[in-house]
Amino acid sequence: MRYAIELGLKGLRRHPRTMLLAVLTMALGLAAAMTMLTLMAMLSIDPLPGQSQNLYLAWVDSRQAPTAGDKPGDDASSPPRLLKLADVEALSAAMPQVRQSALVATSLNLDSEDGGKQGSIRAVLATGPMPLMFAVPLRHGRYWSVQEEREHAPVVVIDQKASLKLLGRADGTGQHLRIGKTLFQVIGISGDWNPQPQFYAMQRDESPWGKDFAIQAYLPLRSALDAGVVPLSVQDCDHGDHGGFRFNELDVDACRFLQLWTELTTPDATRAFARLLDGYGRQRHAEGVFAREPQSRLYSVRQWLAANRAVPDSVHLNLWLAVGLLGLCMVNVAGLLSARFLRRSTELGMRRVLGAPRRSIIVQCLTEAGIAGLAGGLLALPMTLFGLWVVRLQKHGYTEQAHLNPLLFLALLALALLVGVLVGVLPAWRATRIEPALQVKSL
Amino acid sequence: MRTPFALPAIGPIFAVLRRHRLMPLLVIVQIALACAILTNALSLLQRQLAPMLVDDGIARGQVLLVDQLIQGQGRWNTPAVRTAQHALRDLPGVRAVAPAMGLPMRQSISFVLPVKSPAGVTADVTGYSADGLVQALGLDIVQGRDFTDEEYASTGAIFDKGNRNNVVPVILTEALARHLFPGGGALGGRLGGDEGPDDDSYYVVVGIVRHLLRYQLSELDDGQAEYSLLYPARSFEGLPILSYAVRTDPARRDEVAKAIPALLKQQFGSQLMRNVDPVVIDYESQRRESFAPRRAAVWLLGTVCVVVTLITIIGIASLSGYWIEQRTRQIGIRRALGATRRQILSHFRWENLLLTCAGLLLGLPMALAVNQLLMHYYELPRLPLQWLPIGALALLLTGQLAVFAPARRAAAVPPAVATRSA
């Protein structure tokens, strides 16, 4: 047995050129597949582990009748999502036992009370217990109460960095900040919160990846609107020509600008909410308020990410290319290695004649092929690291975190080994099948 | 029998292929896989590359783009826009300034007009609505003329419906003119909206520029890169976001770029939305930045194509090399029986050709199937059929290239080999 393995090792050194080619080809295919799989795995992460499975985006079609400019294909490539405040509040009133939060993300100007320090940060304006539903970490103080929300109380939760910058200390609870002309009381301090991909307020044609989405302030929506805050976000307004879009105005009654999230923990609750949503759409359509045929949708976070193509098509496409390349490389390596072994069938026949058992021949071939596969797999590692470095050079917002997953590497190493072994088995088997006598005759 | 490609006896080739199955099978599978990957990668590559190769028609080294001027307190009004235009014009080194809605390579606002020509051709066209953009970008008018002062005066603002004149003069790109007026006669032609031109409300083509790319960077594919139209605008009432194209003395562009932010601050001051800084960038940098994702894709797809070809060559060369080596003795016998070197060479070339064709027979339907799958899941166009023969030809050449060296070696086998025992 030792001798068979030794022979296998020695065999590796013969015809070094084809061996090198085989190992390189294998490494190349594996590195391409590994690079793309790493990127893919990274892009498919759960944005809010532990909580995302309970969150659902709810939408009911409240849009106006389609006009000539609307293309029917628009809905398919990017699903509609926006709702009016009135509808959101009606749904919340219809099922108060279900946690619901309609939100919009915007950049917001915050000043210290004396106006000495000014900041512009990204904020979420929300109805309902948004920070609780979305597991926003709380460092100090508290979130706003139902009472405060009902009374449109000017209260705000900011994160530690904003507190440090605007109020001069990490725990700024109890102090005040100016938004527009209104003084808001800081009631809570949150920790960092920036789920990636940014799923909670995704907009059409906007990449949901990047550090810029970090939220630093949370406000009850009605309080913010009362203070004259106009969300800098997509609006879909009735009767507006050219979308009626303005940077400084928001017609709350005519515009859809909110995305409604619900927390549904059981399948029964999900079904009940879907029924409610559907019934609401039908009722409003019957009343003549919703112009289009009633339709409603409830997306889980996973479905919502897929519908919005959070993983860009180009990444899917590149993965397919890489897998195709891997296939081609494997066939190529199989060809190279079988040519090596078949070339030596005479030699293997000789060993059989001299009394080597079949098992010994098989071990010899498998050792040689397996080590070739392993070498290819190992060589793929530096090549993958290079590939990931190239990926990180592209500025897409999501590429910075492209790092190798060791488990994935082990899986592909196993694949390389498997290909090597499979390729080794065939010639070994052929060699063992030949009658030693025949082999000797042909010499 | 003079050329290396003279048809040899096909019979022996098939006889050999029937007897040894593993090697030909591996070659066929390799060709088929390579064909499926290569045709799809090539068509994707061409799609990414095409808009980058279109001449953008903009004066080199002279244009600055000023964008993202957002009104913080309402919407822009014409006097403010004009005052700033004049102030920019007065900067030393500036040759022309055009306030514009829509700047090349920057999609800060999107303005798309559905148009229909008398010939019944429709297109969704990108609108550049501006005052003096032809001058400011240095566009090359090949037919007709630029807008006149009168036309500027009589055409209302885009956002101001009541004020709109019924007949709007427009300037098209050459590519768009060819598309909309396939029979020629674009200059002076009329265009309508969705419904086509009617008697009292239409666009009339007064000029044609050689090139101008759309600014919707995701819609440059499928030959629509230059579907743009210029629309005269001197009224900027109600515009939420404003841009300027600035043409400078090439030697003084950097200096002007440095002076502009201060000037804007002085002109608009507190009118600008807080925390949104205006963008001032030279055209070439903007183009590089806007095309960066495309460039990356081109590099990637190009690498894939090269790697696939190389691997196929290596694979076929080594497999045929081995297989020919196996048959050294038979070759010697054939030579001894009177076959010329040329015939041996031709035998292996034909063998390779047959195997490649068999691989293509598998690979071409596979390429289409892969394309169908990709089309189903992702927003991709159908594989243009002309890529199939191109891919096939590329692989035939690859196959011939790969078999060249082994076949030469085979042809060099001396007849004496046949007399030796092994």
Do B82 and B28 belong together in one domain? no
Q: Is residue B3 part of a domain?
A: no
A442: nearest CA in chain B?
A: B422
User: In the prediction, which pLDDT does A315 show?
Assistant: 86
Nearest to B34 by CA among B358, B355, B309, B401: B309
What is residue B163's predicted lDDT score, i.e. its pLDDT?
A: 42
B381 in the same domain as B319: yes
Which of A28, A77, A327 is the closest to B379 by Cβ? A77
Same domain? For A320 and A303 the reply is no
B157 and B220 part of one domain: yes
Q: What's residue A242's pLDDT?
A: 45
| One domain, residues A64 and A164 | yes
Q: Which of A268, A286, A307 is where one domain is finished?
A: A307
Tokens of A164: 């440090």
Structural domain contains residue B287 = no
Domain hosting residue A377, numbered range: 2-44+313-441
Same domain, A284 and A243: yes
Contact status of A67 with chain B (Cβ, < 8 Å): no
Whether B374 sits inside 8 A of A317 (CB atoms) is yes
Question: Of the ranges A38-47, A363-372, A409-418, B159-168, which one carries the lowest mean pLDDT score?
Answer: B159-168
Rounded to whole angstroms, the Cα distance separating B61 from B284 reads 7
Give B239's DSSP letter. Answer: B
A259-263 and A100-112 strand pairing: antiparallel
Closest CA to B96 of B146, B37, B163: B146
Q: State the helix-helix crossing angle for A313-343 and B292-326, rounded to 10 degrees.
A: 20
- Do both B84 and B214 map to the same domain? yes
Distances (CA, A) of A267 to A53, A273, A298: 11, 10, 12
Checking if the pLDDT of A9 tops 80, the result is no
Whether residues B120 and B182 share a domain: the answer is yes
Q: Identify whether B398 is part of a domain.
A: yes
Residue B264 CB partners (closer than 8 Å, separation 6+) = B66, B69, B84, B272, B278
Residues B109 and B36 in one domain: no
What number of C-beta contacts closer than 8 Å exist between A and B?
Answer: 116
Collapsing DSSP to helix, strand or coil, B16 comes out as helix
Do residue A28 and residue B158 have CB atoms under 8 angstroms apart?
Answer: no
Q: How many angstroms separate the CA atoms of B207 and A269, rounded?
A: 63
Residue A146 touches partner B, C-beta closer than 8 Å: no
pLDDT in tens, B46-97: 888 988 888 888 888 899 999 888 877 767 888 888 888 888 888 888 999 9
Query: Would residue B307 count as lying in a domain?
Result: yes
| Dist CA B23 CA B406 (whole Å) | 15
CB contact under 8 A, A248 and B74: yes
For residue B296, give the nearest of A25, A331, A394 by CB distance: A394
Residue B67 lies in a domain: no
Kindly determine whether residue A335 and residue B319, on different chains, have CB atoms separated by under 8 Å.
yes
Compare B21 and A178 and report the one with higher pLDDT.
A178
pLDDT at A425: 79
At B422 the pLDDT is 47
What average pLDDT does range A336-349 have in this prediction?
78
Is B236 found in the same domain as B119? yes
Asked if the C-beta of A317 comes within 8 angstroms of chain B's C-beta atoms, the answer is: yes
Do B132 and B227 fall within a single domain? yes
Indicate the number of domains in chain B. Answer: 2
For residue A117, report the phi and psi dihedrals to the nearest 5 degrees.
Answer: -120, 135
Question: What confidence score (pLDDT) does residue B269 get?
Answer: 76
Residue B62 located in a structural domain: no
The pLDDT of residue B357: 92
Same domain flag for A176 and A82: yes
Final residue in a domain of this structure, among A250, A283, A307: A307
Same domain, A168 and A297: yes
Inter-residue contact A294 to A278 (CB < 8 Å): yes
Token couple for B13: 């080739």
In a domain, B315, yes or no: yes
Question: Are residues B162 and B229 located together in one domain of the fold?
Answer: yes
User: What range defines the domain where residue B379 resides?
Assistant: 10-53+293-419
Structure confidence by residue, pLDDT tens digits, A273-326: 999 999 999 999 998 888 888 888 999 999 999 888 888 888 888 898 899 998
The pairing of beta strand A55-60 with beta strand A259-263: antiparallel
User: B83: distance to nearest CA of chain A, Å?
Assistant: 22
CB atoms within 10 A of CB A293: 9
Pair (A12, A57) in one structural domain: no
Question: What residue of B is the nearest CA neighbor of A20?
Answer: B314
Judge: B33–A339 Cβ closer than 8 Å, yes or no.
no
**Nearest by CB to A343, which of B33, B322, B377?**
B322
Q: Is residue B126 domain-shared with residue B166, that is, in the same domain? A: yes
- What local confidence, expressed as pLDDT, does residue A220 receive? 94
Contact status, residue B210 vs residue B57, Cβ threshold 8 Å: yes
E strand segments, A293-354: 296-300
Virtual torsion, Cα A263, A266, A267, A271, nearest 10 deg: -50
Is B65 a domain residue?
no
| pLDDT under 50: residue ranges of chain B | 1-2, 4, 159-164, 422
Contacts of B292 in chain A (CB under 8 A): 394-395
Residues A39, A177 within the same domain: no
Q: Smallest Cβ distance to A313: which of B40, B296, B378?
A: B378
Q: CB distance from A324 to chain B under 8 Å?
A: yes
Question: Same domain, yes or no, for A383 and A241?
Answer: no
- Report the DSSP beta bridge partners of residue B208: B143, B172
Are A297 and A340 found together in one domain?
Answer: no
Q: Do A343 and B73 lie within an 8 Å CB cutoff? A: no
* Binary contact (B378, A317; C-beta < 8 A): yes
Peptide bond into A267 cis (omega under 30): no
Domain ends where: A271, A290, A307? A307
How far is it, in rounded angstroms, from Cα B247 to Cα B67? 14
Split into its structural domains, chain A has a count of 2
| Full-model pTM | 0.82
Q: Are residues B241 and B107 in the same domain?
A: yes
Same domain membership, residue B156 and residue B230: yes
The pLDDT, as a whole number, for residue A240 is 55
Residues paired with residue B130 on neighbouring β-strands, in sequence order: B100, B232
Domain boundary among B241, B272, B303: B272
The listed range with the strongest mean pLDDT (A149-163, A383-397, B106-120, B364-378) is A149-163
Same domain, A6 and A39: yes
For the segment B378-391, what is each residue's pLDDT rounded down to a tens digit?
A: 777 777 888 888 88
Residues A222, A92 share a domain: yes
* Distance between B122 CA and the closest CA of chain A, angstroms: 14
CB contact under 8 A, A336 and B315: yes
Do residue A372 and residue A230 come from a single domain? Answer: no
Predicted-assembly ipTM surpassing the 0.95 threshold = no
Number of H helices, E strands in chain B: 12, 11
Cα–Cα distance measured from residue A279 to residue A281, given in angstroms and rounded to the nearest whole number: 5
